[in-house]
Amino acid sequence: DQQVKQNSPSLSVQEGRISILNCDYTNSMFDYFLWYKKYPAEGPTFLISISSIKDKNEDGRFTVFLNKSAKHLSLHIVPSQPGDSAVYFCAAAPGAQKLVFGQGTRLTINP
Amino acid sequence: ETGVTQSPTHLIKTRGQQVTLRCSSQSGHNTVSWYQQALGQGPQFIFQYYREEENGRGNFPPRFSGLQFPNYSSELNVNALELDDSALYLCASSRPDTYEQYFGPGTRLTVT
């Protein structure tokens, strides 16, 4: 069963605009959520995280929103830059042991 | 600050063989987790090591085993390789009782 889902395999956004990546989860026991970015031939790079007791966390151009009632989180990138083109993974943590990842969304920023 | 390193970068093995992958954790991190990432999928948790003991395991058979050493480096061993074991194997390190894990570049394993 896929406990963390990223339903959009790909997303294309114009440079300077907002990119919004979405993630849904099914397990209400998840208490922490993270976003990672992955370039080809590299490991995932940690971007931003949010605890389940919050509904928003911001770090520079990146903002994560959490809607617990809908079991939904999103990552907003504004303004989008060409270097943001990568695969983005949403991950959820049922504790500090393991991360449960979604399938990823490939973001392409067009000039 | 030294990041997570993994070796080798690429590896080709034959079905039925055994393989050992290695990982050095980031400076200051004493917890190591291993993940398997199949093509087009997100990483899947294999297991985690803390204080040289297994500290959680995902849905992987016993032929996947690991070790952690006193310097916090770690090994992933896979016995009786199967074709489906072909994947990118990622190591991540973290501080204990924290959620953020920091990943190495991975080892690409191909089983023929």
| Rounded Cα gap, residues A104 and A101, in angstroms | 8
- Return the pLDDT at B28: 87
Note whether A34 contacts B: Cβ–Cβ < 8 A.
yes
A99 and B45 within 8 Å at the Cβ level: the answer is yes
B36 contacts chain A (CB < 8 A): no
pLDDT band at A49 (very low <50, low <70, confident <90, very high): very high
Which tokens belong to A14? Answer: 């114009």
A22 burial level (CB within 10 Å; 0-12, 13-18, 19+): middle
Distance in angstroms between the alpha carbons of the first and the last residue of chain A: 38
- Which of A53, A98, A100 to probe by mutation at the B interface, max B CB count within 10 Å? A98
Residue B96, pLDDT score: 78
In chain A, % of residues over pLDDT 90 = 88
**Of the candidates A109, A110, A111, A107, the residue with the CA atom closest to the CA atom of residue A10:** A107
User: Which of B2, B35, B74 minimizes the C-alpha distance to A38?
Assistant: B35
| The pLDDT of residue B1 | 61
CB atoms under 10 Å from CB of B70, counted, come to 7
Q: Distance of alpha carbon B21 from its chain centroid, rounded?
A: 7
Q: Does B60 touch chain A (CB under 8 A)?
A: no
pLDDT tens, position by position, A24-40: 999 999 999 999 999 98
Q: Which residues of B touch A95 (CB under 8 A)?
A: 56
| B73 and A CB contact within 8 Å | no
Asked whether the beta carbons of B25 and B77 are under 8 A apart, the reply is no
Q: Are B30 and B95 in contact (CB under 8 A)?
A: yes
Average pLDDT, chain A: 95
If DSSP states are collapsed to H, E and C, what string results for chain A?
CCCEECCCCEEEEECCCCEEEEEEECCCCCCEEEEEEECCCCCCEEEEEEECCCCEEEECCEEEEEECCCCEEEEEECCCCHHHCEEEEEEEECCCCCCEECCCEEEEEEC
Burial A43-69 (b: 16+ CB within 10 A, else e): bbebbbbbebeeeeeeeeebbbbbeee
- According to DSSP, residue B81 is labeled -
How many CB atoms sit inside 10 A of residue A85's CB? 18
Query: Residues A86-106: what's their mean pLDDT?
Result: 93
Q: What is the mean pLDDT of residues A51-55?
A: 95
Nearest-angstrom CA–CA distance, A45 and A25: 21
Report whether B25 contacts B41 (CB < 8 A). no
Q: What are phi and psi of B85, to 5 degrees?
A: -80, -10
Tell me if chain A has a CB within 8 Å of the CB of B21: no
State residue B85's pLDDT score: 98
Query: What residue in B sits closest to A10 (Cα-Cα)?
Result: B40
pLDDT tens by residue, chain B, 112 residues: 679 999 999 999 999 999 999 999 998 899 999 999 999 999 999 999 999 999 899 999 999 999 999 999 999 999 999 999 999 999 999 987 789 999 999 999 999 9
Phi and psi dihedrals of B83, rounded to 5? Answer: -55, -35
Reported as a pLDDT band with limits 50, 70 and 90, residue A44 is: very high
CB pairs under 8 A between A and B: 64
